[in-house]
Amino acid sequence: MEGTTDTHKFDVLVIGTGAGGATAAALAASYGMRTLVLEKNAMVGGSLAHYNKRGIRFDMGSHLFSRGRKGPIGQLLRRLNINDVQFVTLPVPAASRGILDIRLPSTRYGLPVFFMDAMRRLNVPSSEILGISRMFFSGLMSGSRPSDSVDRTSLHEFILSYTDYAPIYYMFSFLMGIYFVLPPWEASAGESIYSFSRQFRNYSLSYTRGGADRFITALLDFARAKGVQVLTRTPVTGLDRKNGTWLVHTRDGREFRTRTVISTTGLKDTLDMVGQQHFPKDWVSMVRNLKGSLNAYQVKAVLKRPLVEEGCIIGGVSLKGIQVGDLTMDLLNQTTRDVIDGRVPDPMALYAPVPTNFDPALAPDGKQVILATIYGPTRPDPASPSQEWEKASLDALNSVIPGFYDNLEFYDFVDIQTMGRWMGKQGAPAISTGQTTGQVGRDRPSSRTPLPGLYVSGDSAGGRGIGVELAVDSSVKCVDMVKSDLERRRI
């Protein structure tokens, strides 16, 4: 356990030390708020935490930061004058392997040529080129903040308004699936446009030297230096409000008193900590009806020598030999439905960061670490057993990395339910409030709940963006909201 504390009153108590919780703790500390942070796990970091095995440092999840130092994480670190977090980018940021083989250019100025090359490789008919170009340059690359109507339009509808050419539909719906872990008929077009345009305008796909959780530890070190206490192995079991004070109960029987609570777990979990009888019925109904995203199976592979040059492998991988010309809308819809049902699909959606390409010190002796994920279901009873997902994931990597099996030293396989238990959110989603139509922009739940002094942030309320950056953006806005409410004595 990190640190000890006596029972007394805090200004802010933060639940969780993932990207959202670490952000909230550091920013609250910068404002001089007396802050306590409670983490249920033995290590800080949430899905960004790490573990060590055979001298290898493994991330719990599979993360890259889409906008690097130019995005919300870098902006927060500069705001707090934290200068010891190094973002690393690579000459080849990512490459698609599998059904489509193509590498991203080293700078954003190469994107027009990349786009035309992708159109050629996807055999786009001349009759479709104008509509697809308009979708890419006027739609996805517009850079403007999406309107409510676009936020409430599905990615499926958005793509079909420009083209029904199946390979293009597959490419863009696959990219947004990586971002939001949702099928295209659920993902918001507005959130897709927001994230896609900013990623490619900033063009700074990055990883942090020292591991994905390096910025988490930097934020918590900053907070501790200002007197913030961080307690690990301290799950919160209940929240009560009495006489204007929140009483936070933990599994070990302790009780902490605080003016405000910022919960970075899911909204449903926060609701259950308090008890739904304390909230307005319409708010309870809204929370109960929120939809989470899907998640992914993970293969954490260690290779005896480097086989991959790029920072990340992405792609649709078919073990049955499906090619571009075989892609149809019916096939793609069936593939997604297979994923939802928990049946190993073909083609599979592969996302595989290579952290040792950014920081070779993460593994000794020139070994290469690949953190591969295969888009999968959150249901506890998938149609295909975990062993089939494991074999298919390894075979997918072997099919796109020549020599993979011959150079595989060892690997860890992590199923979705195991990762879900670590993250601790109902239903094991990657994003607890999924970025679906009706759950982004103005429709996203507010960080301010109906109960005075209770706030939620991270991936459950507020904010925009991809994954970790969504959580940071949400928590920055949440803490600024808390500060305003405290100053105006609204709490």
| 177-225 per-position pLDDT tens digit | 788 999 999 999 999 999 988 998 999 999 999 999 999 999 999 999 9
**pLDDT bucket at 140, cuts 50 / 70 / 90:** low
For 9-63+212-291+431-487, which CATH superfamily applies?
FAD/NAD(P)-binding domain (3.50.50.60)
**pLDDT bucket at 6, cuts 50 / 70 / 90:** very low
- Count other Cβ atoms within 10 Å, centred on residue 418: 13
Nearest to 453 by CA among 273, 240, 230, 283: 240
Instruction: Kindly report the CATH number that applies to the domain delimited by 109-202.
Output: 1.10.405
Tens digits of residue pLDDT in 12-58: 999 999 999 999 999 999 999 999 999 999 999 999 999 999 999 99
**pLDDT bucket at 489, cuts 50 / 70 / 90:** confident
Distance CA 64, CA 448 (A): 29
Range 260-283 burial, b when 16+ CB lie within 10 A, else e:
bbbbbbbbbbbbbbbeeeebeeeb
Lowest-confidence region among 73-87, 144-158, 279-293? 144-158
Crossing angle of the two packed helices 126-134 and 111-121, in degrees rounded to 10: 140
Q: How far is CA 33 from CA 26, 415, 478, 482, in A?
A: 10, 39, 14, 10
What's the token pair of residue 346? 């073909």
Q: Where are the domains of the chain?
A: 9-63+212-291+431-487, 90-107+294-425, 109-202
Distance CA 324, CA 210 (A): 38
User: What average pLDDT score do residues 99-117 get?
Assistant: 92
DSSP assignment of 358-400, as one string? H-GGGSSTT-EEEEEEEEE---SS-SS-HHHHHHHHHHHHHHH
- Using a 10 angstrom Cβ sphere, with 0-12 exposed, 13-18 middle and 19 or more buried, the burial of residue 180 is buried
Does residue 483 surpass a pLDDT of 70?
A: yes
Q: What percent of the chain has pLDDT over 70?
A: 97
**pLDDT bucket at 4, cuts 50 / 70 / 90:** very low
Distance CA 469, CA 336 (A): 26
pLDDT at residue 133, as a whole number: 86
Rama region for 16: left / alpha / beta (φ>0; ψ in -120 to 50; rest): left
Crossing angle of the two packed helices 72-79 and 467-487, in degrees rounded to 10: 40
User: What average pLDDT score do residues 160-179 get?
Assistant: 87
pLDDT at residue 262, as a whole number: 98
Instruction: Kindly report the CATH number that applies to the domain delimited by 90-107+294-425.
Output: 3.90.660
Distance CA 173, CA 196 (A): 12
Cα of 322 vs its chain's centroid, Å: 29
**pLDDT bucket at 3, cuts 50 / 70 / 90:** very low
Distance CA 454, CA 258 (A): 10
Confirm if 402 and 101 have CB atoms less than 8 A apart.
no
Tens digits of residue pLDDT in 330-366: 998 899 899 999 999 999 999 999 999 999 999 999 9
Average pLDDT taken over every residue of the chain: 94
Q: What percent of the chain has pLDDT over 90?
A: 87
**pLDDT bucket at 171, cuts 50 / 70 / 90:** confident
Does residue 272 surpass a pLDDT of 80?
A: yes
Four-point Cα dihedral 195, 196, 201, 204, nearest 10: 80
**pLDDT bucket at 134, cuts 50 / 70 / 90:** confident
pLDDT at residue 490, as a whole number: 75
What's the token pair of residue 57? 């440092």
**pLDDT bucket at 274, cuts 50 / 70 / 90:** very high
Distance CA 366, CA 359 (A): 11
pLDDT at residue 47, as a whole number: 95
- Cβ contacts of residue 229 below 8 Å, gap of 6+? 3, 4, 5, 35, 36, 37
User: What average pLDDT score do residues 314-324 get?
Assistant: 94
347 prior amide bond cis, ω within 30: yes
Nearest to 92 by CA among 399, 301, 313, 306: 313
Confirm if 144 and 303 have CB atoms less than 8 A apart.
no
Nearest to 460 by CA among 478, 482, 487: 478
Distance CA 96, CA 311 (A): 11
pLDDT at residue 216, as a whole number: 98
Confirm if 373 and 352 have CB atoms less than 8 A apart.
yes
> Strand, helix or coil at 240?
strand
Does residue 295 surpass a pLDDT of 70?
A: yes
pTM: predicted TM-score of the whole model, two decimal places: 0.95
For the beta sheet containing 295-303, the strands, ordered from the edge strand earlier in sequence to the opposite edge, are 102-103, 95-96, 312-317, 348-353, 368-376, 295-303, 408-414
Tens digits of residue pLDDT in 433-466: 999 999 999 999 999 999 999 999 999 999 999 9
Nearest to 235 by CA among 48, 421, 34, 474: 421
Confirm if 461 and 9 have CB atoms less than 8 A apart.
no
